[in-house]
């Protein structure tokens, strides 16, 4: 199988596997805290958290200390898990249909499709998954776009705004995230 | 049916003047505080955003929640179809202005056939739906610069090009020229119905921005620009912000 076809297959597989696991979590009757923990495990398992952390902080990643980088990555993953948990609610009957998959350069694949969730406030939503495929065996999610709105771009702009308002201090971003998580 | 165009524009003159005042009253943000060069009036925009947020929390959010709870799925679909149908003359006019003749024909066809149901039912489900066009897109086709980002009271956030286009749209509403009382009442209700329907359809997304953000103003601004880019992609070609972000990332290594 040609390299690009193999990468496309890996990219599509990781998307369908993530959504299958999400459905399983949704169907289990567990507490909200347990759900959040399960979502967190999914984030660590399916997403390239280091690349996402780097991308979402722009030039300020280089100014952060090693401890700040680790702390930020942890907090960011928790935020994703919490947001997913609150947005997805009790929905378990959703279906994602892949419409196309496009290689973007050597190390990335875009997987496009439609998410259907009957009974939800949205009926159908188009989603683009950006998958990092650095080699033939590895595929990790690095971004999700809902109706052209990229999670990573919006997060980066928020992060940079907070850091800039606080004189370039990366620690201010960490404080803001801790405050958000404790709400 | 009497046609009295200029008298129909009168109700919109005061809101248009008010919005112009908002524009001229905007104070530029201190350079050090600018978080995005497209948003030089950020400090004023934030105040208006905070006001809009309060109105949303107090009125629109509970109304939209109630709408989602009470109106059955088929009802919401019918209302959404009606709202789209009402916008078809605007789509047709702007398609013509942009030279999109096929879309002009398609929107005219959909408008005339679905007029039998006032747009509540789509009698042409097999036909490809027309692509929605607005005056903001027409301005983009003619190379009008998008201008700075502005947040308008109650109307929400736009580029100034898009905001100006919306005001002109309001004044040139094709339905405003009719004196028939039924059409006039329906015309007045349209913005309310359209707003509630839109808020209800995007309930979870908007609430996520409101309640799950480090800075909801920034998130809303980012979401607007990316969404608008998607709508204008066929006009203003180029990479998306996400494409730019990842291209830069892989180049850095």
Do B245 and A159 make contact, defined as CB atoms within 8 angstroms?
Answer: no
Identify all chain B residues contacting A83, using CB atoms and an 8 Å cutoff. 208, 212
> Tell me, what DSSP letter sits at residue A59?
G
Distance from C-alpha of B16 to C-alpha of A72, rounded to nearest angstrom: 46
Segment B93-132, tens digit of pLDDT? 999 999 999 999 999 999 999 999 989 998 988 777 899 9
What's the whole-model pTM score? 0.85
What total of structural domains would you count in chain B?
A: 1
Quick one: average pLDDT of A74-101? 84
pLDDT value at residue A125: 83
Q: Determine the residue among A153, A179, A182 to mutate to test chain B binding: the one whose Cβ has the most chain B Cβ atoms within 10 Å.
A: A153
Q: Which chain B residues have a beta carbon less than 8 Å from that of A116?
A: none
How far does B101 lie from chain A, in Å, by closest CA? 27
Of B214, B226, B243, the CB nearest to A149: B226
What pLDDT shows up at residue B205? 83
Per the CB < 8 Å rule, is B204 touching A157? no
Interface test with B, best of A123, A148, A165 (most B CBs within 10 A): A148
Chain B contact present for A142, CB below 8 A: yes
The shortest CB-CB distance from B222 to any of A157, A176, A177 is to A157
User: Strand runs (DSSP E) across A47-132, as ranges?
Assistant: 95-103, 108-116, 124-132
Q: Residue A92 gets which letter from DSSP?
A: -
Residue pLDDT, tens place only, B218-246: 999 999 999 888 888 777 666 778 887 87
User: In this complex, is the C-beta atom of A29 within 8 Å of any C-beta atom belonging to chain B?
Assistant: no
Query: B177 to chain A nearest CA, in Å?
Result: 35
A38 CB contacts (<8 Å, ≥6 apart)? Answer: A25, A30
Question: Are the beta carbons of B242 and A145 separated by less than 8 Å?
Answer: yes
Best mutation target, A62, A112, A129, A158, to test chain B (most B CBs within 10 A): A158
Q: If 0-12 CB within 10 Å is exposed, 13-18 middle and 19+ buried, where does residue B143 land? A: exposed
Least confident of A101-115, A156-170, B162-176, B219-233: B162-176
* pLDDT per position as a tens digit, B146-174: 999 999 999 899 999 999 888 887 776 66
- The mean predicted confidence, pLDDT, of chain A is 88
Q: State yes or no: pLDDT of B2 exceeds 50.
A: no
Complex-level ipTM beyond the 0.85 threshold: yes
CATH code of residue A43: 3.10.450.710
Q: Render pLDDT for A58-78 as a digit per residue (tens, 0 to 9).
A: 999 999 999 999 999 999 999
Full domain range(s) for residue A109: 3-182
Task: Tell if the CB–CB gap between B229 and A148 is shorter than 8 Å.
Answer: yes
Q: How far is A17 from chain B (nearest CA, A)?
A: 24
Residue B26 is predicted with a pLDDT of 53
pLDDT for res A134: 85
Helix (H/G/I), strand (E/B), else coil: A101: strand
Helix (H, G, I), strand (E, B) or coil at A170: helix
| pLDDT tens digits, B4-60 | 554 555 555 545 555 555 555 555 656 666 788 899 999 999 999 999 999 999 999
CB contact under 8 A, A159 and B35: no
**Strand order in A108-116's β-sheet?**
A95-103, A108-116, A124-132, A140-146, A149-150
Question: Is pLDDT of A121 > 70?
Answer: no
Chain B residues inside the 8 Å CB shell of A162: 214-215
Q: What confidence score (pLDDT) does residue B1 get?
A: 42
Q: What is the mean pLDDT of residues A134-161?
A: 90
Interface contact flag, A157 B230, Cβ < 8 Å: no
Q: What is the pLDDT of residues B45-92, one digit of tens each?
A: 999 999 999 999 999 999 999 999 999 988 998 999 999 998 899 899
Domains held by chain A: number: 1
| Distance to chain B for A107, nearest Cα, Å | 9
- The span from the CA of B112 to the CA of B89, in Å, is 10
Can you give the residue range of the structural domain that contains B30?
5-252
What would the pLDDT profile of A171-183 be if each residue is shown by its tens digit? 999 999 999 988 7
Out of B33, B223, B242, closest to residue A152 by CB: B242
Q: Say what the pLDDT of residue B33 is.
A: 67
Q: What span, in angstroms and rounded, lies between the C-alpha atoms of A42 and B242?
A: 23
CA distance B58 to B45: 20
| Res. B3 pLDDT band, cuts 50 70 90 | very low
Provide, as residue numbers in chain B, all residues whose Cβ is less than 8 Å from the Cβ of A118: 73
Q: B116-126, pLDDT tens digit by residue?
A: 998 999 898 87
pLDDT tens track for A34-45: 888 889 999 999
Q: Which residues of B touch A (CB under 8 A)?
A: 33, 35-36, 68, 73, 200-205, 208, 211-215, 218-219, 221-223, 226-227, 229-230, 240-243, 245-246, 249-250
């Amino acid at each position: 199988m040609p390299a690009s076809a193999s990468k496309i297959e890996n990219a599509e597989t990781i998307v369908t596997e993530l959504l299958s696991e999400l459905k399983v979590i949704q169907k289990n009757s567990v507490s909200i805290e347990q759900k959040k923990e399960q979502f967190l495990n999914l984030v660590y398992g399916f997403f390239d958290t280091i690349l996402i952390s780097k991308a979402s902080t722009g030039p300020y990643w280089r100014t952060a200390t090693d401890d700040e980088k680790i702390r930020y990555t942890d907090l960011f993953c928790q935020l994703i898990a919490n947001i997913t948990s609150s947005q997805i609610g009790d929905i378990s009957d959703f279906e994602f249909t892949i419409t196309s998959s496009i290689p973007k350069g050597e190390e990335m694949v875009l997987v496009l499709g439609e998410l259907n969730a009957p009974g939800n406030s949205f009926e159908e939503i188009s989603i683009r998954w950006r998958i990092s495929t650095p080699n033939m065996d590895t595929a990790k999610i690095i971004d999700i776009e809902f109706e052209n709105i990229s999670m990573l771009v919006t997060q980066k702009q928020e992060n940079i705004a907070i850091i800039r308002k606080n004189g370039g201090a990366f620690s201010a971003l960490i404080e803001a995230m801790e405050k958000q998580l404790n709400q | 049916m009497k046609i009295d165009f200029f008298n129909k524009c009168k109700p919109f003159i005061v809101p248009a003047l008010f919005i112009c005042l908002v524009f001229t009253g905007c104070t530029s943000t201190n350079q050090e505080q600018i978080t995005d060069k497209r948003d030089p009036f950020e400090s004023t925009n934030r105040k208006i955003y905070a006001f809009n947020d309060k109105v949303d929390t107090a009125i629109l959010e509970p109304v939209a929640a109630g709408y989602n709870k009470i109106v059955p799925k088929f009802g919401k679909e019918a209302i959404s179809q009606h709202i789209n149908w009402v916008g078809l003359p605007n789509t047709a006019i702007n398609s013509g202005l942009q030279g999109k003749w096929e879309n002009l024909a398609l929107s005219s066809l959909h408008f005339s056939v679905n007029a039998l149901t006032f747009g509540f039912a789509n009698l042409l489900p097999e036909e490809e739906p027309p692509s929605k066009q607005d005056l903001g897109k027409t301005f983009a086709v003619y190379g009008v610069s998008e201008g700075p980002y502005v947040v308008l009271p109650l109307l929400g956030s736009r580029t100034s090009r898009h905001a100006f286009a919306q005001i002109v749209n309001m004044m040139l509403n094709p339905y405003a020229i009719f004196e028939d009382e039924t059409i006039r009442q329906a015309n007045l209700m349209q913005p309310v119905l359209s707003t509630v329907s839109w808020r209800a359809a995007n309930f979870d997304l908007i609430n996520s921005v409101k309640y799950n953000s480090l800075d909801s103003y920034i998130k809303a601004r980012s979401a607007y620009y990316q969404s608008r880019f998607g709508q204008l992609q066929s006009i203003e070609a180029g990479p998306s912000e996400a494409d730019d972000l990842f291209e830069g990332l892989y180049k850095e290594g």
